[in-house]
Chain A
């Protein structure tokens, strides 16, 4: 399984945004300890989204691949 783990930079950004009061060295150590677990959580999140039944989705179906319209035309 190709499990995508965050880079250290991505991890550090998230940790800082979460307000963790840790030094760069501590964040590096924490990254080593939990990066795989973070990746596993992301996989779980994708798995959950895939399971949600279409009938439970909003009535307005958003076309993720549609073009942005320009109403000024």
Chain B
């Protein structure tokens, strides 16, 4: 399958349902692309081609006898390698788990398999989903398909790269401080962090209990809607899982934005954390497109980004230390440098600092709810600009990605959507955030914008390594 022929999940589903595309052919094509292109991208830590082809064959047989399960039946996907997969190595991209083979599937793995999706393999991540890129781990970091000298963003780095390069049609990620949305933004795909508690985290290795979210990355908002439909729903095995009805996300997608009220949080990306001119210009153009589709736009003010950042990072660092404390005390040197130097900061925090951060979190969430009372979604910036070079090293841990942290703090859904390209041909993106459990609206706005713009038609040009 050539770049021009790469289907979205929605397109492939239509072809599979009408028997014009074979799941075996689709999976074989994905395997061939992985073998040809992934040596340059390092997006996969593990592939299972024989098993995937067997699953694709079973899907084809089932569909032929009329047992079609829906849009994900026969679709090749992959899982971030912090998502446990029964009988399939799950490493968290860490020396500490290099031989770990779980006995159970994470709930999202089970649900996506039940929907008929084919698991092609496990994708690269930052070590334990905390900070990268790292070059001192058993496997190299993933590289950006638009320019392999550049960073993918993380920590769902492998999934972002693999979707952008057309190696898979969609995949799973996790997001504690931006880790679905950042690789989606830098790799130019669509990535949705759902509402806290919308998607089960059972079987997903934790980073910070109060901030971890699990969600999909795919080429389009429609594809994210299809993936989310299978992933979402109450799970008694996850104590944070919320028992609230799952709507039909795909049915909510429209191509106009008539009546949609958009709050533009301009101070986030113009003064609190000024993004570059290219990124700002792309967002302004996108907002005009949304206005042209019928949306009503107005600027709103929230607390400064620094407030959300301080709150979120204190919670994240304290909780990640709680997760890793026992092992890190004894095996500090077995962790990669970037990961351990972040997590160990939690050892120097006081319990009172953590408590105060949780109290501020409630205040910020209350403020957000009030600010969105007469709005449907917010639109704001997501990255300072294009993806940086992969070898750019910060002087010290300065806790970046402030534009994404507000929506981990408040727990509301937020999605990265491509809105243009930099002069160097790297993707630029924006962020759409919604009210709690209103993923349908977020997906609708992203879908309408994508359909009205040409960005989805452009794929990275990759040659074999």
Contacts and interface: CB of A to CB of B under 8 A. Distances in A.
Contact of A20 (B303, B332, B357, B359): B332
A44 B310 contact: yes
Nearest to B342: A37
B396 A37 contact: yes
A15 B363 contact: no
A8 interface: no
B376 to A, nearest CB: 28
B296 interface: no
Contact of B329 (A11, A18, A49, A51): A18
B345 A41 contact: yes
Interface residues of A, number: 27
A19 B317 contact: no
B359 to A, nearest CB: 6
Interface of B is mostly: helix
A37 B329 contact: no
A36 B353 CA distance: 18
A47 interface: yes
Interface in B339-385: 341-342, 344-345, 347-350, 353, 356-357, 359-360, 363
A53 B333 CA distance: 42
Given A38-B348, A40-B399, A41-B348, A47 B329 contact: no
B353 A14 contact: no
B392 interface: no
A72 to B, nearest CB: 32
A45 B356 contact: yes
B173 to A, nearest CB: 26
B307 A51 contact: yes
B359 A21 contact: no
Contacts of B307: 47, 51
Contact of B363 (A33, A44, A49, A51): A51
A21 B345 contact: no
Contacts of B398: 37, 40
A68 interface: no
A56 interface: yes
Interface string B285-311: 000000000000000000100110111
Contact of B348 (A14, A19, A48, A53): A14
B32 to A, nearest CB: 43
B349 to A, nearest CB: 6
A34 B344 contact: yes
A19 B329 contact: yes
Contacts of A18: 325, 329, 344, 347-348
A56 B359 contact: yes
Given A18-B348, A48-B311, A53-B363, A34 B329 contact: no
Interface of B: 303, 306-307, 309-311, 313-314, 317, 325, 328-330, 332-333, 337, 341-342, 344-345, 347-350, 353, 356-357, 359-360, 363, 395-399
Interface of A: 6, 11, 14-15, 18-22, 26, 30, 33-34, 36-38, 40-41, 44-45, 47-49, 51-53, 56
Given A22-B332, A33-B396, A52-B360, 12 more contacts: A30-B341, A34-B345, A37-B345, A37-B397, A37-B399, A40-B397, A44-B310, A45-B349, A48-B360, A51-B307, A51-B360, A52-B363
